[in-house]
Amino acid sequence: MHNDILLRHILLRHDANGIASLTLNAPASFNALSTAMLTALQTEIARLHSDPTIRVVILKGAGKAFCAGHDLREMQAARQAPDQGREAFQTLFAHCTAVMQALQNLPQPTIAQVHGLATAAGCQLVAACDMATAATGTRFGVNGINLGLFCSTPMVALTRKIAPAIAFEMLTTGNFIDATRAYEVGLINRLTTPETLESETQSLAETLAAKLPAALRLGKAAFRDTAPLDTPEAYAVASAVMVENILLPDTDEGITAFLEKRKPSWA
């Protein structure tokens, strides 16, 4: 029970109108992805996965930054542990990978609300979300190379979100890009001021939450599952999803409502 309370303290959850907001709450470390933070995320993501009342998930950070990546102090302590360094790092990166994949596999659409800084695994966290909003002045980077550590695991999510050549430049130079550039290359969906970041993110989430949840869940799964397929295979999968979707009673109501020029009556 004590551990559960601790994990909830470093990751806050607030639910309202079908939208769950998860806040990384370790501002002193710029919300670093420590083992405790990763465990909290993994636990809450699992809860969200089986929560039918939640239609959209927002991920944000407390304090001055969204997320500064892995906890370097924790990593150095693991390096110095006798005969445990390799095993500890294998466990850490496997844990982080599991969290990123669990986030991507959530049935609900996810939105990263980014401010301040998103670096290394923090940038990976942004790329692992379905969409992202960011405030002007925010910086993004996979800058591990500046410390002698190529950001190989963040690379996986990043290269699936933006053009490979741009990702490779970020990975090899360690240079940061600002929010405007992040918007231009497709890492974020909406660029706004710091003052309107919260409201802009909320507006996007509310737009999604107003859609038929079953259609969004089917659509997100199809979006993910068809991405690695050849065109004929992708169409076969997508067609099967369309059939399943159109046969839903709520979809029938949605089409009928459109034809009758009224709003659908969805439960």
Amino acid 1: pLDDT:
36
Name the 3-class secondary structure at 192. Answer: strand
- Where are the domains positioned within the chain? 2-209, 213-259
Amino acid 56: pLDDT:
98
Q: What confidence tens digit (pLDDT) does each residue in 91-117 have?
A: 999 999 999 999 999 999 999 999 999
Whether the predicted model's global pTM rises above the 0.85 cut: yes
CB 91 within 8 A of CB 38: no
CA distance 180 to 160: 19
Topology adopted by domain 2-209: 2-enoyl-CoA Hydratase; Chain A, domain 1 (3.90.226)
- 3-state helix, strand and coil shares in percent for the chain, rounded to the nearest 5: 55, 15, 30
Topology adopted by domain 213-259: Lyase 2-enoyl-coa Hydratase; Chain  A, domain 2 (1.10.12)
Beta bridge partners, 141, equal 119
Amino acid 2: pLDDT:
41
Amino acid 75: pLDDT:
87
Q: What confidence tens digit (pLDDT) does each residue in 189-230 have?
A: 999 999 999 999 999 999 999 999 999 999 999 999 999 999
Closest CA to 64 of 28, 23, 37: 28
**Which stretches does DSSP call E strand in 54-129?**
56-61, 110-114, 117-119
Name the 3-class secondary structure at 21. Answer: strand
Instruction: List Cβ neighbours of 201 (8 Å cut-off, separation of 6 or more).
Output: 58, 60, 111, 113, 133, 190
Q: What confidence tens digit (pLDDT) does each residue in 52-94 have?
A: 999 999 999 999 999 999 999 888 887 776 666 788 889 999 9
